[in-house]
C-alpha cells in the first residue's frame, strides 16, 4: 500500500493529534508509521503546523498585527516564515 495523498480525513487528523499529544512534536520522519498514518513525515508536519496546532490564531489580522507585518516586511522583505515567527499563533500561510 502506498502513501495516501490528497485531503486529510477527520480520522487521520485525530490519529495525528492524539499521537502528538501523547509523544510531542518532532521526529516527523518516523511519526507516520508510529501514529498509524499512511502519510509522509513532511505532510504530517505541515498538517500539524498549519492546521491542527492548538495555538493557531484563526480569523482576521488585527490592526496591531498588520502594523507589525508592515514594519517587519520593510526590514526582512518577503521572508514570511521569519515574519510569522514574530506573530504568535500565526502561520506563514496566513501572513
Q: What superfamily in CATH does domain 59-94 come from?
A: Homeodomain-like (1.10.10.60)
Rounded Cα distance between 31 and 33, Å, is 6
Indicate the SS3 state at residue 43. Answer: helix
pTM of the model: 0.77
The owner of cell 495525528 is 16
pLDDT at position 51: 94
pLDDT at position 91: 86
For the CA atoms of 19, 21, 22, 25, what is the dihedral angle to 10 degrees? 70
The owner of cell 498538517 is 47
∠83-89-92 over CA atoms, to 5°?
40
- CATH 1.10.10, domain 10-52, yes or no: yes
Q: Would you say residue 1 has pLDDT above 80?
A: no
- CATH 1.10.10.60 intervals, the chain: 59-94
- Per-residue pLDDT of 16-69, as tens digits, reads 999 999 999 989 999 999 999 999 999 999 999 999 999 998 889 999 999 999
Over range 7-24, report the average pLDDT. Answer: 97
Q: Which three cell numbers stand for residue 30?
A: 518516523
Rounded Cα distance between 25 and 55, Å, is 13
Q: Which three cell numbers stand for residue 17?
A: 493529534
Amino acid at each position: 500500500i502506498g502513501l495516501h495523498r490528497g485531503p486529510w480525513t477527520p480520522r487521520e487528523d485525530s490519529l495525528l493529534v492524539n499521537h502528538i499529544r501523547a509523544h510531542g512534536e518532532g521526529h516527523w520522519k518516523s511519526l507516520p508509521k508510529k501514529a498509524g498514518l499512511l502519510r509522509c513525515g513532511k505532510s504530517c508536519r505541515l498538517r500539524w503546523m498549519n492546521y491542527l496546532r492548538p495555538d493557531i490564531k484563526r480569523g482576521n489580522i488585527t490592526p496591531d498585527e498588520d502594523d507589525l507585518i508592515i514594519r517587519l516586511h520593510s526590514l526582512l522583505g518577503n521572508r514570511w516564515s521569519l515574519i510569522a515567527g514574530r506573530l504568535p499563533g500565526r502561520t506563514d500561510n496566513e501572513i
